[in-house]
Chains A and B, each alone.
Chain A
Amino acid sequence: MNSLFADRKYIIGGIFLVACIAFIIRMFYMQVIDETLKLDASNETFRHITQYPPRGCIYDRKGRLLVTNEAAYDILVTPSLVKDFDTDSFCSDLGITKADFISGIKKATIQNTAYHASVFMKEVTPEIYAAFQEKLYKYHGFTSQVRTVRRYPMKVAPHILGYIGEVNKALCDRNPNYKEGDYIGISGIEESYESDLRGTKGVKIMMFDAMNKEVGDYKSGKFDTLPQTGANLTCSIDAELQEYGEQLMQNKAGSIVAIDPETGEILALVSSPSYDPNLMVGSVRGKNYVKLLHDSIDVPLFNRALMAMYPPGSTFKTIEALIGQQEGVLNENTAYNCPGAFHLGNISVGCDAKHGTLQLEKAIALSCNTYFCNVFMSIMNNKKYNSTEDAFNSWRRYVTSFGIGIRPDIDLPSALRGSLPTQNYYDKYHGRGHWKGATIISLAIGQGELGVTPLQMANQAAIIGNRGYYYLPHIIKSIGDKPTIKKYATKHFVPIDAKYFDIVADGMCDVVNDGTAAGSKIPGIIMCGKTGTAQNPNGRNNSLFIAFAPKDHPRIAVSVVIERGGWGADWAAPIASLMIEKYLNDTIRRKDIETKMMQGNTIQYLAEEKTAPKKKKGKVTEQKTATIKRHKHKDE
């Protein structure tokens, strides 16, 4: 029998061998070739828990804390574990209704299954959480996690500081630095310095068992990364000056921009109406945001200092004076006669008064329209150039060098370029060769197609104060220990010789001493300024003022815009003078002016204008302002 079927040992051995080889092949496939199952393993066992770094704080130039972090608590729920507790007390602790409770749990279940923790309520304040936490052990299925939210101890400069909010899904998909639920800077410094402020997230690898219970660190944290705190920023704002500016701007629409001409650092940037930055934090943010967004009268979220453009009006005459001199068509002795209006052909530009014959310095001090229309015409008719177009383009290059019509390279988001028409624009509008200096005469007095933002106006004041150069206006002095960004430490020159600036500065000095803004003289400080009363087709004029002080080696340059304020000297000039006095002297001696400015209400005109039905066109001419009567010769 042994020998009879002995060969069958090979068949049996063969079957065993085949099984053995089949196993080895299968294991080779599963363990070496197939990658999909491996991923599953780490997905279910390891949870990469993000460790959020505290966001960097923001200080003002004197080290005062503007933005800091505060703890807030997210309440998490694992729906499958929720059972047996007093829902009434739960709801009253958190200040929610029973319907909120039910829908919250439903939402969590849909979002992240019943077996995983998901956010039930976001950013509960420490006050509410304190009471809730005591009973947390009773609320089965609920846990909490700490997050940090922003706090603004001084409640100033919301437009500069900006706010943070949850990152949107599209960005999460694009940028691996963000996951849904993360915070990101949405406006202001929070947005422009996001990458410095956010820090680096850490990852803690935790292991979870089959029951979804945490069992501890993976390899005692060997592969974990620690979160790195975001950099603290020092911004150039003087918080006290900013706060003062915001007080002055109560019940007014407009803005104040103050720049240190020696560095380009922005000392104050007020946009009014404003809001308390603390409204944009935590669980109240959503509600407040919608409210602020839909306030169509005040438009508090709109940063006027960077985004609103106004015709610069008479403040622009300083630039005309400089261009005229540089072009050789104007000097301090050039005299024109002002009969109360500028007439040329069928165009006439009104003036505030019959100034008689006057020279440059006086023309600036009294803001004579006639004088500057003549200056503008001489620039446009300069024999140097073959055509009005060439002369215009040259003029335009000068204006551009002042930063007008170009987007400011500022470290805040959404600063606008303003508006400065091009030759092309006029060619299209009037037809090529069909426009002359006289056609665009309104540019002479800062009207017409010109649009300048308050930031650009302040920079213009700084350039005149510096006699021909400026640093790019910026808001951040240092990031952590790193000093200022290099591009902000570079001098930019305008193509106008320094010697031409003195006469303009003299004129601006006269403006305050005995000119259009004589009421805004600051005792002990030589301030140079220029009023602007810019026409506005919709209603009252905008009140404008640019200034710098002291006259030589100025330490502050200011622009003030008060929408619907009327004359430049009424609101803008006194407010600018108060800002300068506050910054240079630290105390205000002219209490009466301060009180008057603080109590003044100009926003009512804006509100009336917006709520009232469209008024008749005639309204504009009724006002005692410089008017331009233009007859379109093409129509005739």
Chain B
Amino acid sequence: MSDRRSNIIPHIDWFTIGIYLCIVFIGWINIYSAVLNPVHPSIFDFSQRYGKQFVWIITGFVMAFLIMVSDASFFSVFAYPLYGIFVFADLAVRFIGRNIAGSHSWFRIGEIGIQPAELGIFAINLGLAKYLSNEKKTDVKKIRMIAAVMVIFPMLLIVIQNETGVAVTYTAFIFVLYREGLSGNILLGGFMLITLFILALVGSKLVISIVLISLALIAFLIFTSRKVKDLSKVGGILALCLAIVFGTDYGFNHLEPHQKKRIQVFLQQNVNNSKEGYNLHQAEIAIASGGTVGKGYLQGTQAKLNYVPAHATDFIFVTPCEEWGFVGATFIVILYFILIIRLIFLAERQRSPFSRIYGYGVASIFFIHVAINVGMNLGLVPVIGIPLPFISYGGSSFWAFTLLMFIFLRLDADRLQILR
């Protein structure tokens, strides 16, 4: 065992770690700029968020180190127990967690808060990887069902905690399932669902219905053999689509008020005079004010002067946009893209399906976070309160992402050893 441990150093993917360190460093100095308190100018001042973030980073590094020196097989062996623990934690936190602004998702242990929903995503990922890699492809339907339940059950628990934003990130697993054989139609269907939902909210339901019915007719007449079987298939899809279109209002009206607002703001409806509209508009103004090359590090004004809400957490992306401009913001987006593509590349080179599936999970979770967070900063996605990996302020999320990624790097370093 000790031999193997000392041998893994050349097998560790230092490239990924390099990008990781880059992003972490950018994140830390960004938080410093975003919330700089002139009274406490030291970036190591622990009374300030930048000082605290430094602590989270260092402890995150320690955690990463511990993962790298641990036995890779631990994660495979304890995948189910870890999954179980966190699902249980997600359930328990609803009843014994602290109520913070209406959401019951935090355990408080002294000074430190732990959010099982956010932290536990690695365990869900492990569990799913373990299950999918173990099953032989005998009963595909059953496997799909169980895999779906393994993801949707914790998602529901999180929704009950009132952390819909975090629950949304669990949709990342759809990419994993797709990679492992889920029909592309489901992915496509998912996109269509969202598109229809938005169209129905914005446009005229009658026009959409007419377009849908004509499309169905064309599909039936041209792309099928015009049998009763085809008719029922096309008819079924059409009926589902129409149900979505006309059910939209019902569904929309049953959302939480702030969720409704966020969607309305995103769709440019009812923007005026609402807090949500103001917040988003301020973020857009701040981003735009950066221009091509930005105002210079620490020279930003909009975010720092509290025009932008949550400018150290959910809207942290505003600060680099403002201070480093289009060039700097593009650099960060590209850095993320390289990291995610690198993770996919690493996943694809795994001999063990467990490692591969887990790797895809990591890449997909990063993607969904970056896509939603950057997207909402840019006004492309409704506001959903989730962090930008490694850059947003916060110990819980920093640890969660570090844990998630380094488990995969540990598995990757072990890729030549055995088939697992």
Contacts and interface: CB of A to CB of B under 8 A. Distances in A.
Q: Are A and B interaction partners?
A: yes
B367 to A, nearest CB: 5
Given A1-B181, A5-B180, A210 B306 contact: yes
Interface in A1-54: 1-2, 4-6, 8-9, 11-13, 15-17, 19-20, 22-24, 26-28, 30-32, 34, 37-38, 40-42, 44-46
A12 B380 contact: no
Interface in B286-343: 286-292, 301-302, 305-307, 321, 325-326, 329-330, 333-334, 336-337, 340-341
A209 B137 contact: no
A13 to B, nearest CB: 6
B339 to A, nearest CB: 11
Contact of B289 (A12, A26, A41, A211): A41
15 contacts: A1-B181, A1-B353, A6-B348, A12-B360, A24-B334, A26-B378, A26-B379, A27-B329, A27-B330, A27-B378, A31-B288, A38-B288, A41-B288, A45-B305, A207-B301
A34 B288 contact: yes
A41 B305 CA distance: 11
B348 A31 contact: no
Interface in B265-298: 282, 284-292
A473 B300 CA distance: 59
A6 B336 CA distance: 23
B292 A31 contact: yes
Contacts of A6: 348
Given A16-B367, A26-B378, A45-B305, A32 B326 contact: yes
A16 B337 contact: yes
Contacts of B241: none
B189 to A, nearest CB: 15
A170 interface: no
When A and B form their complex, which 7 residue pairs have the shortest distance between CB atoms, in order from nearest?
A: A37-B288, A41-B289, A209-B305, A210-B306, A31-B326, A20-B337, A210-B307
B387 to A, nearest CB: 17
Nearest to B352: A2
B11 interface: no
A208 interface: yes
Contact of A19 (B137, B291, B353, B367): B367
Nearest to A40: B285
Contacts of B285: 37, 40-41, 44
B175 interface: yes
Given A20-B333, A27-B329, 5 more contacts: A5-B181, A16-B344, A27-B330, A31-B292, A209-B306
A40 B290 CA distance: 12
B375 A23 contact: yes
Nearest to A5: B181
Interface of B: 137, 175, 178-181, 184, 282, 284-292, 301-302, 305-307, 321, 325-326, 329-330, 333-334, 336-337, 340-341, 344, 348, 353, 356, 360, 364, 367, 371, 374-375, 378-380
B390 to A, nearest CB: 17
B356 A2 contact: yes
Given A31-B290, A44-B307, A208-B305, A16 B284 contact: no
A215 B179 CA distance: 53
Interface string A439-455: 00000000000000000
Contacts of A38: 288-289, 291
A146 B179 CA distance: 72
Nearest to B287: A30
Contacts, number: 114
A32 B329 CA distance: 12
Contact of B380 (A26, A31, A211): A26
Interface of A: 1-2, 4-6, 8-9, 11-13, 15-17, 19-20, 22-24, 26-28, 30-32, 34, 37-38, 40-42, 44-46, 207-211, 215
Contacts of A28: 326
B284 A30 contact: yes
A37 B322 CA distance: 12
A8 B289 CA distance: 40
Contacts of B341: 13, 16
A17 B344 CA distance: 12
A31 B302 contact: no
B274 to A, nearest CB: 16
A333 B32 CA distance: 103
Nearest to A1: B353
A119 to B, nearest CB: 26
Contacts of B287: 27, 30-31, 37
B286 A16 contact: no
Nearest to A37: B288
Contacts of B375: 19, 23
A506 B371 CA distance: 103
A20 B380 contact: no
Nearest to A28: B326
A217 to B, nearest CB: 12
Contacts of A215: 305
Nearest to A210: B306
Nearest to B175: A12
Contacts of B374: 23
A42 B302 CA distance: 9
A218 to B, nearest CB: 8
Nearest to A36: B288
Given A12-B344, A215-B305, A42 B179 contact: no
Contacts of B175: 12, 15
A20 B371 CA distance: 8
Contacts of A34: 288
Nearest to B299: A219
A12 B341 CA distance: 10
A569 B330 CA distance: 93
A42 B305 CA distance: 12
B301 A45 contact: yes
A24 to B, nearest CB: 5
A4 B137 CA distance: 12
A1 B178 contact: no
Contact of A42 (B289, B330, B333): B289
B399 to A, nearest CB: 24
A419 B334 CA distance: 83
